[in-house]
Amino acid sequence: MTTGPHLAVALDGAGWHPAAWRAADARPGELLTAGYWVDLVRAAEAARLDFVTIEDTLGPRVDPFNPSRDGTDQAVGHLDSVLVAARVAPLTSRIGIVPTAVVTHTEPFHLSKAIATLDYVSSGRAGVRVRVAWTQEDSALFGRREIGEVDLADAKFPDLQSPLSELFDETADYVEVLRRLWDSWEDDAEIRDAATGRFVDRDKLHYIDFAGKWFSVKGPSITPRPPQGQPVVTSLAHAVIPYRLAARAADVVYITPADRTESESTLAVVREEQAAAGRESETLHVFGDLVVFLGETAAAAREHKARLDEFAGAEYASDTRIFVGTPAELADDLLDHHAAGLSGFRLRPAAIPHDLTAITEGLVPELRSRGAFRTDYEAKTLRGHLGLGRPANRYAAV
């Protein structure tokens, strides 16, 4: 068994650079086809990555860090990530599949059965990245609630009661409802007894009776308990309030440190919040998030990024660290941060297929040559890849 970091890739259209769709090897005409996504996930699976995430937003996909002048030079249209995941899952066999779901404005009952269904069609490889929506444009898409003005800087102040902190508290409740609904059927609730005509043991279906500030959900789910028991819940965090959400509710949190020192300090904050949530005995994986521009040489990587920046008319910016270099240099970087305590990394390929191929065919072999990444899958489920046990059902009689 290897002792190196876990690896995931974050798939977002033609890549994370807004001009990636203009690269010579891009496939912009296929972004809305199932075959495109199947190809990407199969490439990641061939490299034995732990999982892929699939980006999603409520509105058009416009990068806030790289705003378009008129909205016409970015690939703003996209497919529903949960439905893409459901299409890809039966055509892959071992890699974890983690769609992004915007949980603000949407109902936990619907998402719980969608992710439970994904766990069934993938035979236990499903997860979900929960995402908060805070803009007035997002609210206007639904017209049911007004969140008001949200200041993202409030995320740094855990004791400040603000619209932003309310959104993250709501998301923690949302995840709790998901988890209770996944447990609302006991594992052996379906008895399928043709002789007596009893398909379900009604005593093994449970009301969850969740009543909180934002949700009142009786249950049970209409989907039996997923194969993993609990699909993997993940979240992205940049400051203490999102760290607190992850500590309360997630199995994996993606953080955005600028360097090793910040990796160590952020990890300490996450562990403090995890202890405060009473989860210090549970595994919470902390992954570093970074955008990667890769090349066979450092100069080639710089030229790759400069070419995309020239297309965009501005230098690329991001909410997380930007790495420009060779796969071997990236391996050095990841192993350094892994030594600082991060259990894995979610890599954002700047351009697809260029940087995804550099990850799967450059970085992965480099890590393997150092004994720091698996040569084959050692488990069949996403929880298994991450070393997470199958949790007991909270409603089952002990």
Listing DSSP states for 101-152 in one string gives EE-TTS-HHHHHHHHHHHHHHTTS-BEEEEE----HHHHHHH-S-------G
What pLDDT is recorded for position 390? Answer: 96
CB-hemisphere CA count at 13 Å for 159?
0
- What percent of the chain is predicted at pLDDT more than 90? 86
Of 36, 75, 382, nearest in space to 234 by CA: 382
What pLDDT is recorded for position 69? Answer: 72
Of 159, 31, 47, nearest in space to 95 by CA: 47
Question: Given a cut of 80, is residue 103 above it in pLDDT?
Answer: yes
Report DSSP letters for 139-207, one per residue: HHHH-S-------GGGGG-TT---HHHHHHHHHHHHHHHHHHHHTSB-TT-EEEETTTTEEE-GGGB--
Integer Cα distance of 329 and 292 in angstroms: 11
Q: Is the dihedral of CA 30, 35, 40, 46 positive or negative?
A: negative
Q: What is the mean pLDDT of the chain?
A: 95
Query: What token pair was written down for 119?
Result: 């766990």
Q: Provide the 3-class DSSP secondary structure of residue 40.
A: helix
Confidence of residue 398 (pLDDT cuts 50, 70, 90): low
Confidence of residue 1 (pLDDT cuts 50, 70, 90): low
Query: What token pair was written down for 354?
Result: 């260029």
E strand or H helix at 252 = strand 252-255
Report DSSP letters for 52-108, one per residue: EEE---SS----TTS--SSS-SS------HHHHHHHHGGG-SSSEEEEEEE-TTS-H
Of 312, 334, 381, nearest in space to 51 by CA: 381
What pLDDT is recorded for position 131? Answer: 97
What pLDDT is recorded for position 214? Answer: 94
Q: pLDDT tens for residues 174-198? A: 999 999 999 999 999 999 989 999 9
Orientation angle between helical segments 327-339 and 260-276, nearest 10 degrees = 40
H helix intervals, 235-297? 240-249, 260-276
Over residues 158-187, mean pLDDT? 94
At which residue do the structure tokens 């607190």 appear? 244
Over residues 136-160, mean pLDDT? 85
CB-hemisphere CA count at 13 Å for 40?
33
What pLDDT is recorded for position 188? Answer: 94
Question: Given a cut of 90, is residue 397 above it in pLDDT?
Answer: no
Integer Cα distance of 141 and 105 in angstroms: 9
Burial class (CB in 10 A: 0-12, 13-18, 19+), 302: middle
Which is more confidently placed, 155 or 365?
365
In DSSP terms, 277 is beta-bridged to none
What pLDDT is recorded for position 173? Answer: 98
In DSSP terms, 9 is beta-bridged to 52, 347
Q: pLDDT tens for residues 217-267? A: 999 999 999 999 999 999 999 999 999 999 999 999 999 999 999 999 999
What pLDDT is recorded for position 2? Answer: 63
Q: Is the whole model's pTM more than 0.85, yes or no?
A: yes
Integer Cα distance of 21 and 13 in angstroms: 8
Confidence of residue 118 (pLDDT cuts 50, 70, 90): very high
Query: What token pair was written down for 372?
Result: 């720091």
Of 178, 49, 34, nearest in space to 125 by CA: 49
H helix intervals, 11-65? 34-46
Q: Provide the 3-class DSSP secondary structure of residue 73.
A: coil
Question: Given a cut of 70, is residue 200 above it in pLDDT?
Answer: yes
Over residues 58-79, mean pLDDT? 84
Pairing of strands 198-200, 190-193: antiparallel
Residues 6+ apart with CB under 8 A from 159: none
Integer Cα distance of 212 and 176 in angstroms: 10
